[in-house]
Amino acid sequence: MDKSDTRRKSMHIKQENIRNFSIIAHIDHGKSTLADRLIEMTGMLTSREMQEQVLDKMDLERERGITIKLKAVRLVYKAKDGQEYVFNLIDTPGHVDFNYEVSRSLAACEGAVLVVDATQGVEAQTLANVYLAIDQDLEILPVINKIDLPSARPEEIINEIEDIIGIESHDAPLISAKDGLNVEQVLEEIVKKVPAPKGDSKAPLKALIFDSYYDSYKGVTCYIRVFEGQVKPGMMVKMMATGKSFEVTEVGVNTSKHIPLDSLSAGEVGYLTASIKNVKEARVGDTITDLKHPTAEPLPGYKKVIPMVYCGIYPAEGEDFNTVRDALEKLQVNDAALVFEPETSVALGFGFRCGFLGLLHMEIIQERLEREFDLNIITTAPSVIYRVTKTSGEVLEIQNPSNLPAPAEIHYMEEPIVSANIMTPTDYVGAIMELCQNKRGTFKNMEYLEETRVVLHYDLPLNEVIYDFFDALKSKTRGYASFDYELKGYQQSELVKMDILINSELVDAFSLIVHEDKAYERGRTIAERLVDVIPRHQFAVPIQAAIGSKIIARETIRALRKDVLAKCYGGDISRKRKLLEKQKEGKKRMRQIGSVEVPQEAFLTVLKYDEK
Amino acid sequence: MEKAGLYIHIPFCERKCHYCDFTSVPGNNDLMDRYVERLIKEISMASDTYEDINIGTIFIGGGTPSILHENKIADIMDAVRRDFSLDTHAEVTIEINPGTLTVDKAISYRASGINRASVGIQSMNNGILKTIGRIHSEEQVLTTVENLRRAGFENINGDIMFGLPHQSIEDFLQTLDKVISLELEHISMYGLILEENTPLYRWYNRGLVCMPDEDEERVMYHTAIDSLEFGGYRQYEISNFAKEGFECRHNLGYWKLRPYIGVGLSSHSSISGRRYWNSSNFSDYFNKLDRGILPIAGDETISRDLMEAEYMILGIRLNEGISIEDYEKRFNTSFMGKYGEVINNHTKSGLIQLDDGTIRLTRKGMDLSNQVEIDFLP
């Protein structure tokens, strides 16, 4: 207590000496490296204390080079004007799936540092986030990074930023975050250009939750930006969107660790705990106010995040339904965007229909279930939400193909369409156009960013995007293109439900909603892949793709002809028995569908991109 | 007195075959002498461990036992006779590589009490023999059999293989006809298994050799069964055929889960409910014996459940099948109570049949025996 007391004093600072900002960058353009340098150079942490890339919290994120959960860090900088400034660096996730979270963390800031790679230039994702920052009226400070690389072309990149984004960039610091070159200039620019927060500390409390996470010691910790008033321990607060009230147990700021303070006032960024049990009760974007003296209006921009992509998650053989539910509940405590409800599949038994912000979010959840909870799960093909208008006039939202009404009852169907921006070197324009064409895309226009780079604008059906678009784009452009999209709306479309029959038995977990024109091709691809992954049985197994009662593709898994150990003598007995035990184990892990055993990979192969 | 089989391992080969993953090394005289010395010591020690047994069969296998000087084989046989009680009608087999046998050797074997020879023919196609790394030729097979007959061997087995690299169905049937015309008493016929860590496995994976496909391989097997039956051989196990009365008693012991003792490098023993195996490392094998301890590298206790499963897994390989009565006598438990469901399922799928209180693999079952066997596992 004594120790933190001395710090408490030093932590409070005049409003005009606070700078709240984010860093916006494309993956690999050096956001985390710059954040590390800023933290080092402000002297809050010694180099030894610095874990590499301190802002990226989860292993998975680090592996993917993506920041998923944002967080704020408080730095103290002694500027050249001799004054001490408090910097609140608020991290933002860098992926389209987390657009809303990005917008909320930007809402907590007055400025944003835009990091652009001096060799790569502006990318689609950067652009999307810059527009979000502009929407929030943030002061944008461009910074050109990786200036040390021989292929750096800062002049061109500066022109590009001015042309595309329309912000003055000729004073942009040219830095190498890796070497620390000119990073000090960035710190000075932040002091000079990012406006100090405003807001009356005497007014009723108005604070924005821009992130929240759960841990088993403190319950939910909220990262907040106080806009008006003051929040202190013991106070009863209310979440304006969810209507829930809590007593504040602790407030403070985050340096390398949590440092409790007696209060947080208007303009300040910090954390708050209040024995909240679930992140759903402290949603990102919600406004915290004083229960007794509430503010009149919540902060604008709150929305309840809506899943865009759904899939079934089932316990694999030998895994327990309840264990999977517990794990999903634990993840949900920390992830308000994850939704799930129990469902039943004829093929897979009891499981869950889960909703995600997008494909990346879905993959992250799947991987966390497998890695952190050590679960063995089966995932079904992802689906978007289709809007079905029945002949009766009733409108349904369908996210599980199995729930699609009979064709006779369907008047028409609509599917979600996204507007996509694809930035690419001109060399790949042809390949990308072909791909988008193939994915039922509608070409909007193409802009030249510079002589060798363009941005292509397409409208694409989301169901094609979630199928294998990323993989296909990556493969066709050797990773040079970047891609970003946002939901545009719904569009009427000729969609059909395609079923897969294994040994004449419909396997609901394989059912898909596809565009009529793509059904034949998809059906054939899936049937071919299943032939490869399902082991041969004692009898021939037909694999069929069907629309209604019409078979559109058929393959056959030939009967097993040989499964015998030729030799088995004295020295072999133990070894051969072990081989048989292994074979039996493998068999156990399969799904029994009628008389056919289907390995778990079968459910995944349906999703894989086909290099053809 | 308990009856047991004795397996004697000779881990030397002139050269390792390309498909082989057994323990064997190229023999040099010094190493072979030192080995036989230890082997004889092990025989003496093993006999002390199991005093009350009678050896009904001996199998000298390898490697290539015939690579040893015949006097060494005689020494080994003398040791066995000195230390163990050996049945007067014991079946004593030695494995022979056609490239390594002379008449003198064959006569010496007979004199040592060896009465059965097992010749590693594999193929009668010189090209294929070369591809799989065998050191002999078709002609040497003929000479070897002639030499064995001259030395008085009246019980000869020929090992042949099918599903070999670049082998066509015709190739194999030719080999088979040639082997049948040798009028041996016994034929073992194995489908080649590509074992990891063999040159052939690597070549195959790199696309350097092509193998008959599963369908062709099965045609070879089925056609061979018919040809052999026609030639007077009765199939008595998945891979074994014999003229009447010439079934290999030593191997029958394995399939009927009877006790056996193994001596020599990497050999296995299974006796008194315990299974153990010797070290497969020469210096370890030598050192242990020099220090007067048995060169055992590992063991496992076979639980009752496992023992029952093994009895089923091994027994089902035999054409005579498994007699429910024998099983119930041996394990003192209800057969149908334990395996009723398995029997029922596989009878339905046509892999086994139940007649007169005996279960047997059907012909289809012989191709897919693993599918039945895994269901016997606890």
Query: Domain range for residue B153?
Result: 2-255
Burial of A382 (0-12, 13-18, 19+ CB in 10 A): buried
Q: What CA–CA distances, in Å, run from A287 to A15, A198, A226, A282?
A: 21, 17, 10, 9
| Tokens describing residue B137 | 């030729």
What is residue A312's predicted lDDT score, i.e. its pLDDT? 92
Q: Which of B266, B270, B313 sits opposite A580 (nearest CB)?
A: B313
Rg (alpha carbons) of chain B, rounded to whole number: 21
CB proximity A3 to B under 8 Å: no
- The pTM of this model reads 0.69
- The pLDDT of A117-132, averaged and rounded, is 83
What is the secondary structure of B35-64 as a DSSP string?
HHHHHHHHHHHHHHHSTTEEEEEEEEEES-
pLDDT at A367: 87
* Rounded Cα gap, residues A527 and A600, in angstroms: 16
pLDDT value for A63: 46
Residue B36's closest CA among B63, B69, B3, B83?
Answer: B69
CA distance B352 to B350: 6
Percentage of chain B lying above the pLDDT 90 cut: 87
Residues of A with Cβ-Cβ distance to B217 under 8 angstroms: 561-562
Q: What is the DSSP string of A315-355?
A: EPTT--HHHHHHHHHHHHHT-TT-EEEEEEETTTEEEEEEE
pLDDT digits (tens, 9 = 90+) for B51-108: 889 999 999 998 899 999 999 999 999 999 999 999 999 999 999 999 889 999 999 9
End-to-end CA distance of chain B: 31
Using the predicted structure, report yes or no on whether residue B258 has a pLDDT greater than 60: yes
| CATH code, domain carrying B74 | 3.20.20.70
Report yes or no: A559 at the B interface, CB cutoff 8 Å.
Answer: no
- What's the average model confidence in pLDDT over A404-432? 92
What element of type H or E holds A528?
Answer: helix A516-533
Residue type, A1: M
CA distance A149 to A131: 28
Pairing assessment for the beta strands A250-254 and A269-273 based on DSSP bridges: antiparallel
**Structure tokens that stand for A505 in this block:** 């038995």
Q: How far apart are CA A37 and CA A40, in angstroms?
A: 5
Pairing of strands A236-239, A287-290: antiparallel
Long-range contacts of A517-525 (CB under 8 A, 24+ apart): A517/A440, A518/A440, A519/A545, A519/A547, A519/A552, A520/A552, A520/A553, A522/A498, A523/A498, A523/A552, A523/A553, A524/A552, A524/A553, A524/A555, A525/A610
Same domain, B224 and B348: no
Query: What are the tens digits of pLDDT across the range A134-170?
Result: 888 999 999 999 999 999 999 999 998 888 888 889 8
DSSP states of A76-96 as a string? EEE-TTS-EEEEEEE----SG
CA distances from A167 to A188, A504, B3, B27 (A): 19, 62, 95, 82
User: Is residue A498 a contact partner of residue A545, using CB atoms and an 8 Å limit?
Assistant: yes
The per-residue pLDDT for B219 is 95
| CA A62/CA A65 separation, integer angstroms | 5
Residue A5: the pLDDT is 42
Q: Are residues B245 and B317 in the same domain?
A: no
Task: Give kind and range of the element (H or E) at residue B162.
Answer: strand B156-162
**Whole-complex ipTM:** 0.90
Task: Give the number of domains in chain B.
Answer: 2
Residue among B220, B302, B373, B375 with most chain A CBs within 10 A, to mutate: B373
Q: C-alpha dihedral over B297, B303, B308, B311, to 10 degrees? A: 10
Report pLDDT for B288: 96
Amino acid, res. B112: S
> Per-residue pLDDT averaged across B324-328, rounded?
96
* Domain final residue, candidates B255, B290, B318: B255
Phi-psi region of A164 (alpha: psi -120 to 50; beta: other; left: phi over 0): alpha
- B248 and B132 assigned to the same domain: yes
Phi, psi dihedral angles at A97 (to 5 degrees): -60, -25
Residues B201 and B318 placed together within one structural domain of the fold: no
- Taking the Cβ of residue A565 and every Cβ of chain B, the question of whether any pair is shorter than 8 Å is answered with yes
Domain final residue pick, B196, B227, B255: B255
Instruction: Write the pLDDT tens digit of every residue in B89-100.
Output: 999 999 999 988
Mean pLDDT for the stretch of residues A517-530: 91
Q: Is residue B297 part of a domain?
A: no
Q: Which letter does DSSP use for residue B67 in this model? A: G
On whether residue B267 sits in a domain, the answer given is: no
Across the range B272-283, mean pLDDT stands at 91
Angle of the A183-193 helix axis to the A31-41 helix axis, nearest 10: 80
- Evaluate whether A557 touches A543 at the Cβ level (below 8 Å): yes
Evaluate whether residue B330 is within a structural domain: yes
Pairing of strands A230-231, A264-265: antiparallel
Q: What is the pLDDT of residue A429?
A: 95
- A349-404 confidence digits (pLDDT tens): 899 999 998 877 888 898 889 888 889 898 888 889 999 999 999 999 998 898 99
- Look at the block and give the residue holding tokens 């502006």: A122
Q: Which residues, including other chains, have CB under 8 Å from residue A85's CB and lie 6 or more apart?
A: A13, A17, A18, A19, A76, A77, A78, A79, A191
Instruction: Check which CATH number belongs to the domain holding B326 and give it.
Output: 1.10.10.920
Q: What is the DSSP letter of A469?
A: I
| Same domain as B330, residue B208 | no
Mean pLDDT computed over every residue of chain B: 94
Q: Given this model, what pLDDT does residue A305 score?
A: 74
Secondary structure of residue A377 in the 3-state scheme: strand
- Same domain, residue pair B243 and B330: no
More confident residue, B145 or A130: B145
Q: CB atoms < 10 A from the CB of A27, how many? A: 17
Check residue A98 and give its pLDDT: 76
Interchain CB contact of A48 with B (< 8 Å) = no
Average pLDDT over residues A28-55: 65
Nearest by Cα to B105 from B59, B64, B63: B64
Q: Which of A560, A569, A581 sits opposite B254 (nearest CB)?
A: A569
**Residue B62, in any domain of the structure:** yes
State the average pLDDT over residues A22-35.
83
B26 and B159 in a single domain? The answer is yes
> Between β-strands B156-162 and B116-122, what pairing exists: parallel, antiparallel or unpaired?
parallel
* B260/A contact by beta carbon, under 8 A: yes
Residues B231 and B312 in one domain: no
Taking the C-alpha atoms of residue B378 and residue B374, their distance in angstroms, rounded to an integer, is 9
How large is the average pLDDT for residues B109-134? 95
Residue B298 lies in a domain: no
Task: Nearest by CB to A569, from B251, B367, B368: name it.
Answer: B251
Return the exposure string of A197-234: e unless at least 16 CB atoms fall within 10 Å of the residue's CB, then b: bebebebebbbbbbbbbbeeebbbbbbbbbbbbbbebe
Assign B122 to helix, strand or coil: strand
**Interface contact flag, A573 B239, Cβ < 8 Å:** no
* Structure tokens belonging to residue A298: 């919540």
Q: For residue B266, is it within any domain? A: no
Q: Are residues B51 and B173 in the same domain?
A: yes
pLDDT band at A43 (very low <50, low <70, confident <90, very high): low
Position A66 pLDDT exceeds 50: no
B104 vs chain A: nearest CA distance in angstroms? Answer: 30
The mean pLDDT of A110-139, rounded to a whole number, is 87
Chain B residues with CB under 8 Å of A571 CB are: 7, 262, 266-268, 277
Percent of chain A with pLDDT over 90: 48
- Contact (CB<8Å) B275/A574: yes
Least confident of A325-334, B102-111, B245-254: A325-334
Judged against a pLDDT cut of 50, whether residue A49 lies above it is answered with no
Give tens-digit pLDDT for A73-114. Answer: 888 888 899 888 989 999 876 666 777 888 888 999 999 999
CA dihedral A156, A162, A167, A169 (to 10 degrees): 30
Return d(Cα B312, Cα B346) in angstroms, integer. Answer: 14
Residue of A nearest to B216 (CA): A561
Nearest to A386, CA basis, from A548, A540, A513, A218: A513
The answer to whether residue B271 is domain-embedded is: no
Q: Is residue B272 predicted with pLDDT exceeding 90?
A: no
pLDDT of residue A56: 44
Contact call for B368 and A560, based on CB within 8 A: yes
For residue A563, list chain B residues with Cβ-Cβ distance below 8 A.
367-371
H-helix segments, B264-362: 282-290, 304-315, 324-331, 335-348
Say if A585 is an interface residue toward chain B (CB within 8 Å).
no
Least confident among A243-247, A606-610, B97-101, B329-333: A606-610
Mean pLDDT of chain A: 86
Among A374, A366, A409, A403, smallest CA distance to A386 is for A403
pLDDT value at residue A9: 40
The answer to whether B364 and B350 are in contact (CB under 8 A) is: yes
Number of C-beta neighbours around residue A586 at 10 A: 13
Among A558-562, B49-53, B323-327, name the one with the lowest average pLDDT: B49-53
Is B139 within the bounds of a domain?
yes
Q: Are both B176 and B322 inside the same structural domain?
A: no
Does A92 or A195 have the greater pLDDT score? A195
Is residue B96 located within the same domain as residue B173?
A: yes
**Mean pLDDT, range B239-245, rounded to an integer:** 97
- A594, pLDDT greater than 90: no
- Rounded to whole angstroms, the Cα distance separating A252 from A263 reads 7
- Yes or no: say if A283 and A255 are a contact pair by the CB < 8 Å rule: no
> Is residue B19 located within the same domain as residue B107?
yes
A229 torsion bin: left (phi>0), alpha (psi -120 to 50), beta (else) = left
A569 touches chain B (CB under 8 A): yes
With contact defined as beta carbons under 8 Å apart, do A112 and A13 qualify?
A: no
